[in-house]
Every structure is written in C-alpha cells, then in structure tokens.
Structure 1
C-alpha cells in the first residue's frame, strides 16, 4: 500500500502547506540577506567583503551540512531534523543581532544559520514529501509546496524592508528569529516514515549507495550543473541590490526587484515541478539554464533602468528555484527513494559551493575593481556549461540485476 493511501485530501493539503510555509520562511529570510548588507556594513563600518564572507560561508556550511542532515532525515525521520533546524535558525538570527564584531557575526550568520538552512529548506522538505506521497501525487506535492514557499519569500521582502526602515537591522533580525520559532508546529505533519523498498531498486547500505552514485558520470554532471545554479542565485540575490544602487536606482526599487524575483518564483517553481512529470527532466534543466544565460546577456546589453531591472527579475524569478524539485526528482529516478535526502544533499553541496563563490567573489571583486562586470560574465559562462552538462547526463535508473551486482537500465 502506498505511503499516502490513508491520507484524506485535507491531510494531504496540511502536509503540503506545512512544507511550503517552512520553506517560505527559511528561504525567504535567506532571500532578504541582500537588504541587510548596506545597513549592517555601514552600521559597523565594515567592508562589503566582510559581510560577503559571512554570507558566502553560510552557503558553504549549508552545503556541507546538507548530506549530514539528509542522512539524519533518511534514518530518523524528517520531523526531528526540521525541529532542530528551526531552533538553530531562531538562535542564529538572535546571535546575529547581538554580534559586535566580524567573528561573532560570521559564526551566527555564516555557520549557525548555514546549518539551520540544511535542516529547514528544500533538501529536507522535498525529501519528506517524496516519502509521504506516492509517485502519482509526488510532482503535485513538490510543485505546490514550492509555489507556497515562493509566496512566502515574496511576502517576506516588503515585510523585511519595513522592519529595516522602522526598527533597524538588529531588531529586524530578532523579529525574524521569533517568526521562525513560531513555525515549530509545522514540522509535525512532515514526520515521514520510511517507505517500503521500491520494486527493482537495490536496497543498499548508505555507504554503498553513495559509492554507486559516485561511479556514475551523470551524478557528477548533475553536481556541476547545480554548482552553476548556486553561483548564479547567490550572486544575484546578494549583489543585485548593490548593482542597481550603483546604476542610480533607489533602495526601494532594488527591494522591488527582489520581491518580483520571489513573486515570479511562485509560478516558476510550480510550473517546473509539474513539468517534471511530463518531459525529460535533464532536457528541461538544460533549457532552463540556457534561458537564464539569454536573460543575463540581454540585461547587460541594455541600460539599467527600473523597467529593465523589473523585467530581468521576473524572468530570473520564474527560473529561480524550479531547479530544486526537478533535481530532486532526477536524483530519485536515477538512484531510488531509500536515501533520497542523502544523495540530494550531496548534489546540493555542489550548489552551495557555487553559492559560496557567487557571494564571496562578488564582494571580493567589487571591493577591488568597483564593478560587477566580471561576475556577470562568469555567471553567463558557467550557465552555458550547466546547460551542456545537463544535456549530457545519463539519467537511466539504477536497478538490481538478476545476478550479483547492479545494472543501469538504458532509456
């Protein structure tokens, strides 16, 4: 019997809403970090590189912790991991507000919040939903939860803007921490049980599963593509406000651009999640990266105005986090469900290594060259690489053979 066969429609919606709201809070607060950059650096008298290093470390720690939290979720259940992640997130935001020097700020915003994100964002939530819902409803669950998460991100941008204007960045961080802690009950519906082993899929120990995945060239190509995704998103989310301010736009207009990214992400994540059940995922991902490249080239080719910034934000937002449910589904199809959170966590590490370089290099290059031009060029170049890498992925599933060992079913 399927894992969700006994769930009523209202119970299914409760689970999906809980996952979506948790992702909206977790990723929404992360999405607004660019709005904190100017008040934090000016208030402390720090360089952009100091703030950028903390945020870059957050991306790296998030990625390094994701395979560990994924393994914990696979073994002990997603609900426990989500609870721990929520508590760590609230504490990290509080300590970030209390920090007086770069070391304390980096430890809170970089290390603790990075760990918290690994336990509260899509790596854990999508793993839980993949276990709870049977294949015929899985794409729907991931798509709807992703869209709800995008809606949460969209709502948080103006909320954080107002908090920063009226209460200052320290109080804004504390309020956000309390908001995260208030979401603790939402982890309860996501207590996913281990599903039965899929028919024909080898039930290997976790170490053997990881080794088998790492023998596949497609696994490494998927990592390479997700590296590009992390680089692009972290660079744009963190540095787009500063880039627009440099070109004469106001902070309000920069905030509107971030809000439009989050707004378009609602529809883009849903569309990408639903498309994963209809077309070959590796081709969808290759096309997504190609369109991102075209959008960046056009954005750089025309004058930076409010209209061009908003149009760019809408296009990029539609393509923003749609990679996550499609990548999760591609890993599941290639390697099965048993260690989905663990294997997706390893792929996600590549995403976060890219995010580290996207944030830190953006600040490092700007502090020395007073221009973001080379970072845009780099984002375009690795986008081309990502499109090619996804097209070349062998997405055939790994199955148990009739004799000893494993075999790959060629599609």
Structure 2
C-alpha cells in the first residue's frame, strides 16, 4: 500500500517520505478506527431500544422517530460537511464530528423527554455521523492513497471500521447490563472524545490548482455539482442507495425487538448483530477488492438481489438460531460492501477532486432510505403489531435497486473545455 505522490495529489501532501503518522497504513488504521466507533455506536442502537422505552415509558415509534431523524439529518448534512472537507480539509471536519458525537451521546443519556431525545440522538448524532464516516473518511483516503490501490484501500478501511462495529456489539451489551443504558452511553461518549487525535493526520486541504489533472484546472465546485446533477447515473445511484439505507437501518434498529417478539432471547439479538458486524469485515474488504477488478455497477446489482433473497428466506422459513445466524452472516457479508463500490463509481465517473461533496449527495439517498426504514418500522409495528409489511417493502426495494444499477453509465466523463478528471 503506497501513499499518493505529492506531484499527483489532490491535496497539499508532503514531498518525500511522509512521517509515520501520514503513511498510508496509519491513515487506513486511523480512518478505520474513527469509522468503527462512529458506525459501531450507531450499529448497537437497536440494543438500547427496549431498555430506553421501558425506562422512559415511551413507544417504539418514539424511539424509531429519533433514529429516523438521525439518519435524515446525517444525509442532509453530508453534502455540506463534504464541501467543508473538500475546501478546508478532512481533519477539521473529523475533529468537529467526533466532538459533536461525544456531546450527542452524553445528552442522549440525560434526555428525559422525547423532544430532548430527538435533539440529542437525532440532530446532534446525525450531524456528527456526517463528519466521521464514509463521506469524509473515504474522500480523504481517495485523495491521499495512490489511485492503483484506492479501491483496495477503501475496502480495508471499511473492514477496519467493521471490526469496531463487531467489538462494540458485545461491548455495548455488557455495558448496558453492568452500567445501565445511561452509563453505557456515557462510556461511548468518552470513547468518542478519546478518538480526537486520530483525526489529525488527515491534512488533505486542497488548493485551487491542486485538483488539476495533466491538462489543467478542474471545474469549480458548483460546476462539478451541476455536472453530476445532469448525469442520469448520478440519480440512479441515489435511488439505488435509498434501498440500501432502508434495509440496513430497519434491520439494525428493529431486528433485536423483532426477535424478542418471536420469543427469542436478548442474547440472540446481540449475537445476530455481532455476526452481521463480523461478516461485514470480510464483505467490505472483499467487495473493495472486487471493485478494482470488475464492474462495480453489476456487483451492486448482485448485492441487492442476494440481500432480497436472504430476507425472503429469513421471513418465510421457521425462525431458529440456525436460520437467524445464517441470515445474519449473509446480510453481514453484504452489509457495507455497497459503500466502496458506490464511492468508486462516483470517483470513476467524476474524479476525486470533489469526491467528498459528490458522494455526500449520493449518500443523502441512502439516508433518506434509512429515515424511512427506521421510522416506518416503528409506525407499522404500532399500527399492526407486526413488521411483516416492512420486510416486504425492504424486499421490493432490493429488486428495484438491482434494476436501477444495471443501466448506469459508469464511463469517465468527457468534458468540453475541461481536462479529464483526476484519477
């Protein structure tokens, strides 16, 4: 794994051999740890649902609405945090994101009303996620890692983030049992604050001329956004990513409660989330590698079809430990493999100069789906006392997403009057 030479970098990278804390491997480790905490704390939110609503006397819909606001806020904020990262550097955005994450988790533990819970879990944590996860971390790595290894690097960073998710599942369950749900949230807040130094190596601030390819200047930011908005494939990616967000957010937030409704133990729900996180480590890395060798759009279509088949079998077959853990393993392997592939298509078509901003707009589609998946899960359950309609909706969206990715034009844009995008 090599770092991108300074003469070809999109940011102000140092010449010669970088210090150890700016090497490609340390950047991957730091980015993976930050994403592992951010995504891991989000991944275990389903474990907090029943303890919180039981203690507060709330409904599942109340909890689900706060999580839905979190996902929507994350999606709305992502393009703007991406713009800030592209203009002022990813380190500043990650520092702000980790700080806000710590504050949001602490306030979640103190929230005594639904409004306060929405403010802390929904708005604060939602904005924090936009500065500590895929959009910013993958954007920084795309600029700072050599192009030939970029797809593999994104897969590695995602896999490292998956390790954090895997470790946080049993960790959060133990913390809830030993310290209560409030104490567990405070511990997570302190952990987020302790991660702040890991943001410092991502000094990838760009300069007006640094986005140039061999032929000269890249289009300005607003021009790049307009260019993307006129590209049909950009909108197909958005719509397809909506299905991904719907499926993952629904499962992560409602699966533990769904299993309790079916008579299974809390430990089995925890184990399912842990298996998802563990399988995600291998899946994210593997799809990152495959994305450097094969068509990313066809890989994405395949992921959505296999996910749909896995959900159908899980719902139709008799529920047992074997079917649960098999479902968790398959879904986990496919869990976040969509992210390096989707980010890879964006950089493949539009270049890396404004990758953080452009991926932020695509990611909004994902988070709109997450909002709907979490919120409708709560609404439908309170109305019908069942999740069946939501499972069917998740499966239908998977089929639609596969169909949408097939016709995407993923060829590099040929610009009139502008050089080709920096690879």
CA contact (8 A) 1:201 1:336 kept: no
Distance 1:313 1:75 in 2: 40
Give matches, 1:205-244, under 5 Å: 205-244=220-259
Partner of residue 386 from structure 2, selected from 363, 371, 378: 371
Q: Give 1:144 shift.
A: 1.1
- What SS does structure 2 have at the residue aligned with 1:127? helix
- What SS does structure 1 have at the residue aligned with 2:386? coil
Give matches, 1:11-410, under 5 Å: 11-194=23-206, 195-199=210-214, 203-401=218-416, 404=417
CA contact (8 A) 2:68 2:122 kept: yes
Distance 1:35 1:214 in 2: 38
Q: Give 1:311 shift.
A: 0.5
Aligned to 1:2: 8
Residues 159 and 317 of structure 1: is their aligned pair in 2 closer, same or farther, counting only changes over 3 Å?
Answer: same
Distance 1:344 1:187 in 2: 20
Q: Give 1:399 shift.
A: 2.9
Q: Give 1:7 shift.
A: 4.5
Please list every run of 5 or more consecutive structure 2 residues that lacks an aligned counterpart in the other structure: 1-6
- What SS does structure 2 have at the residue aligned with 1:249? coil
Distance 2:33 2:8 in 1: 25
Distance 1:161 1:9 in 2: 39
Residues 162 and 135 of structure 1: is their aligned pair in 2 closer, same or farther, counting only changes over 3 Å?
Answer: same
TM-score, scaled to structure 2: 0.93
Distance 1:376 1:193 in 2: 43
Deviations 1:294-320 (A, max 9, x none): 111111120111111110000000000
CA contact (8 A) 2:213 2:420 kept: no
CA contact (8 A) 2:80 2:357 kept: yes
Q: Give 1:405 shift.
A: 7.3
Residues 16 and 7 of structure 1: is their aligned pair in 2 closer, same or farther, counting only changes over 3 Å?
Answer: farther
CA contact (8 A) 1:73 1:80 kept: yes
Residues 73 and 407 of structure 1: is their aligned pair in 2 closer, same or farther, counting only changes over 3 Å?
Answer: closer
Residues 299 and 384 of structure 1: is their aligned pair in 2 closer, same or farther, counting only changes over 3 Å?
Answer: same
Distance 1:311 1:8 in 2: 44
Distance 1:298 1:349 in 2: 30
Deviations 1:248-276 (A, max 9, x none): 11000000000000000000000011111
CA contact (8 A) 1:233 1:355 kept: yes
Q: Give 1:196 shift.
A: 3.6
Q: Give 1:85 shift.
A: 0.2
- What SS does structure 2 have at the residue aligned with 1:207? helix
Distance 2:215 2:136 in 1: 25
Distance 1:46 1:324 in 2: 34
Q: Give 1:238 shift.
A: 0.5
Residues 67 and 303 of structure 1: is their aligned pair in 2 closer, same or farther, counting only changes over 3 Å?
Answer: same
Distance 2:420 2:287 in 1: 30
CA RMSD between the two structures: 1.6
Q: Give 1:370 shift.
A: 0.5
CA contact (8 A) 2:27 2:202 kept: yes
Distance 2:292 2:419 in 1: 26
Q: Give 1:246 shift.
A: 1.1
Please list every run of 5 or more consecutive structure 1 residues that lacks an aligned counterpart in the other structure: none
